[in-house]
Structures are given as C-alpha cells and as structure tokens.
C-alpha cells in the first residue's frame, strides 16, 4: 500500500509591516530532500513549504504558505489523510502582536515590539493524532539530543531529528547536516555529518521501518527501529 507523506519545509515569515518581517535562515533544503526521498521510496507526498528559493521535486503536491498560522491551517487540513508527518519546517515561535498596515517610519528613538506566541503545530498534532507517525526536528545551538528527547516526550512524537545549527558547515543554509535520531523507546543514534539528501533517505527509511513495526498513532506497542 502506498504510504502518504506530509512534509513541511522552509521558514515562516511573521510580518511587522508590509515590508518587514521576522524569519530565520532556513533554506528548506532538508524538508525538500525528505519530500524527494519519500517520493523515491514510492510514497505519495504533500509538501507544505514556507518561502524558499527551491524547485519542488516533480511529483509532489506543493502547498505554499508564508506565516505560521497559514502553515498551521495547511497542516491541519492535510494531516488527517497522512500516514507519516515530517515537520522539517523552521516555524517562528513568536510574531509581532500588531501588524501595521503601513510601513513604519523611522523615528527619533528606539522601537519596541511586543511579541506573542505562534501556534505550536507539532504539539497540536500530538494532542489530536490519529494513526499517523509523527516526526519532528529540533534545531539547537548546543547538544541537540537532550532537547530532542524533551520535545519528543512533551509533544507526543515518534521520532525527533536533532541537529546543532551553530556548527559551521551544517544546518541552516548548508547542504549538510550532523544529526541525532531520538526515538520514543529511548534510542539515541548520533550520525556523522552528511549531505542532507543522504540524511533524508535515512529519515524516510526509519519512518518506514517504524511503520512496519507497528509504531505511530496512539498504540505504543512498536519495537525500536
């Protein structure tokens, strides 16, 4: 049976005014690589993408979004029909509380901006999950394994891929990643630095193995992959 993948990729933009926004350096390459790897593995792939300068793999269904709220709505609409959800997007945690309709002019003094939380899309998926396997990412600036384990437990995920984005030549804006796989049964596998395309294939392979072992959904009876 064809496995249905839902993959998110890229950054979000949270606007302060019509010409200024808060974002991050995510290029989307990791999520796009996962989408292509899933497609090559025989999956049916929907890719929800923030603004990136990438061409989507031929054969994927692309949904383009900008803000965290737009990504939330797209993921919510698509998750019910997915077997595997891979949240590789770097979604902004905060947005300006007020978005000006006009460009903010330079003033004589400093500018203070009140920020509010954006939706936690992964946590929402974890709370109302069905049978889908849920995979998250933890982009950190220290040891990613601890944060990946916390995120996995707190949000009810099946697998978290952690990586240290402060390492030169790895993570945001790079073609490489140095990652750690943290699974819900306590397994922790550290991987060497590798191209994102190769890491994507390992992620898809792990997802398919977890599905084959009975992982995913509310039943927690699978064996470590």
pLDDT tens string 164-173: 877 776 667 7
Q: DSSP 3-state assignment of 95?
A: strand
Catalytic residue among 24, 163, 177, 185, which?
24
- What token pair was written down for 139? 């982009």
223 in a structural domain: no
Q: Which domain holds residue 171?
A: 4-92+114-212
**For residues 155 and 51, what is the distance between their CA atoms, to the nearest angstrom?**
26
Pairing label, strands 176-177, 179-183: unpaired
Domain total for the chain? 1
36 in a structural domain: yes
Phi-psi region of 171 (alpha: psi -120 to 50; beta: other; left: phi over 0): left
Name beta bridge partners: 5. Answer: 45, 84
**For residues 211 and 225, what is the distance between their CA atoms, to the nearest angstrom?**
10
- What token pair was written down for 61? 């269904």
Q: Is 163 a catalytic residue?
A: no
- What token pair was written down for 130? 């069905």
Whole-prediction pTM: 0.90
E strand or H helix that includes residue 176 = strand 176-177
Name beta bridge partners: 119. Answer: none
Q: What is the dihedral of CA 200, 203, 207, 212, to 10 degrees?
A: 100
13 in a structural domain: yes
pLDDT by residue for the chain (225 residues), tens digit each? 899 999 999 999 999 999 999 999 899 999 999 999 999 999 999 999 999 999 999 999 999 999 999 999 999 999 999 999 999 999 999 999 999 999 999 888 888 999 999 999 999 999 887 789 999 998 877 788 888 999 999 999 999 999 887 777 666 777 888 899 999 888 899 999 999 999 999 999 999 999 986 666 543 333 222
E strand or H helix that includes residue 203 = helix 196-212
pLDDT tens string 139-150: 877 788 888 999
Main-chain phi, psi angles of 182, to 5 degrees: -120, 120
218 in a structural domain: no
CATH of the domain at 161: 3.40.50.10300
63 in a structural domain: yes
217 in a structural domain: no
15 in a structural domain: yes
102 in a structural domain: no
Q: Which distant-in-sequence residues (6+ apart) come within 8 Å of 103 by Cβ?
A: 17, 18, 19, 20
């Amino acid at each position: 049976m064809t496995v249905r993948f839902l993959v998110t990729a890229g950054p979000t933009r949270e606007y302060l005014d019509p010409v200024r926004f808060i974002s991050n350096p995510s290029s989307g390459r990791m999520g796009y690589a996962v989408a292509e790897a899933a497609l090559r593995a025989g999956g049916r792939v929907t890719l929800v993408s923030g603004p990136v300068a990438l061409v989507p793999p031929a054969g994927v269904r692309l949904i383009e979004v900008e803000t965290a709220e737009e990504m939330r709505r797209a993921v919510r609409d698509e998750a019910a029909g997915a077997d595997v959800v891979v949240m590789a997007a770097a979604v902004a945690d905060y947005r300006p509380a007020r978005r000006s309709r006009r460009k903010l002019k330079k003033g004589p003094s400093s500018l203070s901006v009140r920020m509010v939380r954006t939706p936690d899309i992964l946590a929402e998926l974890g709370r109302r999950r069905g049978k889908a396997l849920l995979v998250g990412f933890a982009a950190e600036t220290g040891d990613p394994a601890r944060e990946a384990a916390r995120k996995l437990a707190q949000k009810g995920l099946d697998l978290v891929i952690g990586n240290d984005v402060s390492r030169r030549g790895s993570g945001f804006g790079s073609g490489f990643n140095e990652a750690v796989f943290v699974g819900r049964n306590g397994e922790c596998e550290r991987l060497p630095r590798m191209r994102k395309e190769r890491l994507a294939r390992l992620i898809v392979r792990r997802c398919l193995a977890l599905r084959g072992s009975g992982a995913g959904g509310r039943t927690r009876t699978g064996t470590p992959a």
